[in-house]
Structure formats: structure tokens, C-alpha cells
Amino acid sequence: MPSPFTEEHQQFRKTVRQFAEKELAPFIDEWEAAETFPNEVFKRAGELGILGAHYPEEVGGAGGDLWFSVAKSEELPRCGMAGVTMGLLVQADMATPVIADLGTKEQIAEFLTPAIRGEKIAALGVSEPNAGSDVAGIQTVARRDGDDYVINGAKTYITNGTRADFITLLAKTNPDAGAHGCSFFLVPTSTRGFQVSKKLKKIGNHSSDTAELSFDEMRIPKRYLLGEENMGFMYLMQNFQSERIIACTSACAGGGYMLEQAIAYGRDRKAFGKPIIKREYWQHKFVDLSAKLEAGRALSYKGADEYNQDKHIGGGQVSMDTVKTISLAKIFVGEMMTEVADQCLQFHGGAGYIEEYPIARQWRDQRLFRIGGGTTETLRYYVAKLMGL
């Protein structure tokens, strides 16, 4: 397909890259050790227009399209910290798009516009201790009580969870209806009954905070219901598609960055009398990995293009054909990224197993991709259904 990026996209890309390389990357060691990064990073990203480039001007964005998000997702990995990248992408592309699609003017003013500016931090509350990829199995319940909803339950693996100002929360409003009994709510974390149960310690993505949350008789007004009651599962499935596209494009860019760093290392590192990058075995290996990265990027772009057409030309609903393309992209990119990271680490030899080399962190961080946003196994099952198998 022709390049989807205009000169405006490329200028935006340059802004994101400078932000990642000059304002984030210098703090890798500090933020990875702290297992968090300053809240001011969200504010700075908002000031630069990074969080809202793809949102309409009437909600506080720049009026751009999905390709602005793609450009952002491809440049943020240059900061060298997948945790920071994920925190910012959750803010801009995972916890807030559903507000832009469904929110009332009041909800947009209270939650979305401040999030675009980086003044409020957002988190997406879907996964639970007993329900991950099986979203229909969530057990958090929101019951009507007069003009309020009272929410009880728990969420886990929540990025930005320890510091979020609000949660875009999925809960059961009709527990007997399975997937068709879920609803979305906007929950200020200052609400009585909300609690961060604990901060979770992860094997990778150390610079991001990940939390387990609990809700104990938490009462919110019905004006915080997002969209229609009992339509939350459908909204989530639509929201998942843009999330998965951005995850794929970000992962491909991160894989390309890994290859760049590995090749640079191989030019300097000598073994048996010459740079190891001059060994034919590794030259062929990097050619194969480059081909797979290009294939993953192309499939991801195809999904983005189909998504754009569905949302802006086809009436707003994402088609099953587009869902299939995006799911295939996530499956392929997940497997490919595991191979890229493993081979780049192997290329480093013993140095790849040492923390001071970036590949050690990148190898750990990329492993989340095959789990988050729907496991590879769940997506294969879903695509098999779409194929009539």
C-alpha cells in the first residue's frame, strides 16, 4: 500500500522522537530502578500534543486520524523503556478512545479533555484475578441503587493503576446475561470504596506501575455510566481493535530498534579476527528477521487501513474482516517479536545476559506482547471461529 503518512504526520513523528530520545531516554536507569516514572511525563506529553493528536478538536485534540497514533507508537519505543511507552499508550489509545466514542459532553469535559492534556491520568479496568482474556467471565458487579450504581469486585494487571485519576471500568450490570450484561463506567479514584490493593512486581516493563484494584460498596452516580447499560462488551471489542493495532505497530518499531542496536554492537564486537556482523550466519539471520519485521508492519498497517475505512467510511462499526486482520497481525507480530528478541540476545553472547546491555531489558519487556490485549491462544481460537473452523 502507498505510505499513509503525510508531511504533517512526519512532523508529528519528529516531535515524538525528540521527546522520546531527549526527554525520556536519559532517565532509563533511574526510572527502571524506581519501577515507575514521574506523573509529569503525562503532562509534558499533553503539552506537546502527543496524547491527543488523533482526537477531534472539539474534545481537545488536534483533529488527526489513526495514523498519528501509529506514528506515535512507532517513535515512543526510542525512549528505551517499554513501561513508559505502555503507560503513555494506555493513556492515549486504550483507556480513553471509548470516552471519545460514547461520552456525553459532561463526561468528555470531566475525563477525556484533561486526559488529552495529561492533567488526569487514565487506566483501563478490565482484567480480573479470575478473568483475563475471557472478558465475559468478569465478576465485578455494578448494581443500581436509586440514582447511583454500587460497585463491588476487583481488577488486576492494571497499567497506570497506582496513580490513575480515573478508571474506565468494565463491570457486570446483569450478571445473568454473561457477555451481554457488561457496562462501562468512569470511576474517579477519589471515590470512597476504591482502593489500590497492591502494586504488582513484574519480570519486565519495570518503569510502568501495574496494580491490583478493589471496589468495596463503591458508589458512583449514574451519570458516570458510559454509553448504554449492558452494551459494554460490544464497546470493548470495538475498543480492542485500535488497541491491538497500536500495540502491533509499537512492537514492530521496537523490534526494528532492537535490530539496529544489535547490528551496531556486531560492528564493534570482534571474534576470531573480524566483527561478528561479518559472519555469514548472522547476516542471513538478520535478513530473515528484517523480512519478518516488514511483514508484521505491513499486516499491522493493513489492519489500521481497514479500521480507518470501517470507522470513517463504513458507518463506524469495525467489520469482522477487519477484526480478523487485526487479530492475525497480533498473532504474527507476537511470535515474530519473541524470535527477534531471542536472536538479538543470542547475537550478544554473554553480554546479552548482562543487565547493563539494553537487549536484556528488551528481551524481558517484549514477552508481555503475547499476553496483553488478548493472549495469542485466545486470538487463534477467535480467528478459527471467523474462519468457520
Is residue 268 classed as helix, strand or coil in its secondary structure? helix
What is the average per-residue pLDDT within 293-311? 94
Evaluate if residue 1 carries a pLDDT over 90.
no
Supply 365's cell numbers.
519487556
What is the average per-residue pLDDT within 343-368? 95
Evaluate if residue 312 carries a pLDDT over 90.
no
Over the stretch 110-130, which tens digit does the pLDDT of each residue have?
999 999 999 999 999 999 998
| Distance separating alpha carbons of residues 71 and 76, to the nearest angstrom | 9
Supply 320's cell numbers.
469482522
The kind and range of the H/E element at 341 are helix 320-348
| Residues taking part in catalysis | 243
Q: Which residues, in sequence order, are CB contacts of 37 under 8 Å at separation 6+?
A: 27, 31, 81, 83, 84, 87, 207, 208
Q: What architecture is domain 7-121? A: Orthogonal Bundle (1.10)
Domain spans of the chain, in order of start? 7-121, 123-226, 232-386
7-121 against 123-226: fold identical = no
Residue by residue, DSSP assigns 141-205 as EEEEETTEEEEEEEEEEEETTTT-SEEEEEEESSGGGGGGGEEEEEEETTSTTEEEEEEPP-SS-
| Distance separating alpha carbons of residues 343 and 337, to the nearest angstrom | 10
Q: Please give the span between the terminal C-alpha atoms of the chain, in angstroms, as a whole number.
A: 30
The answer to whether the CB of 17 falls within 8 A of the CB of 74 is no
The kind and range of the H/E element at 217 are strand 210-221
CATH of 232-386 given 4.10.490.10, 1.20.140.10, 3.30.70.920, 3.40.50.1820: 1.20.140.10
Over the stretch 141-171, which tens digit does the pLDDT of each residue have?
999 999 999 999 999 999 999 999 999 999 9
Over the stretch 26-70, which tens digit does the pLDDT of each residue have?
999 999 999 999 999 999 999 999 999 999 999 999 999 999 999
Residue by residue, DSSP assigns 299-329 as HHHHHHHHHHHHHHTS-SPPPHHHHHHHHHH
Evaluate if residue 140 carries a pLDDT over 80.
yes
Please count the helices (runs of H) and the strands (runs of E) in the chain: 13, 10
Q: Which residue has the cell 477484526?
A: 323
CATH of 123-226 given 3.40.50.720, 2.60.40.150, 2.40.110.10, 3.40.50.2300: 2.40.110.10
Nearest to 65 by CA among 307, 370, 347, 273: 307
DSSP-assigned beta bridge partners for residue 154: 214
Evaluate if residue 347 carries a pLDDT over 80.
yes
Evaluate if residue 134 carries a pLDDT over 90.
no
> What mean pLDDT is reported for the chain?
95
Q: Which residues, in sequence order, are CB contacts of 340 under 8 Å at separation 6+?
A: 255, 258, 259, 289, 292, 293, 366
- Which of the four pLDDT bands, split at 50, 70 and 90, describes residue 132? confident
Over the stretch 72-103, which tens digit does the pLDDT of each residue have?
999 999 999 999 999 999 999 999 999 999 99
262: left (phi > 0), else alpha (psi -120 to 50), else beta? alpha
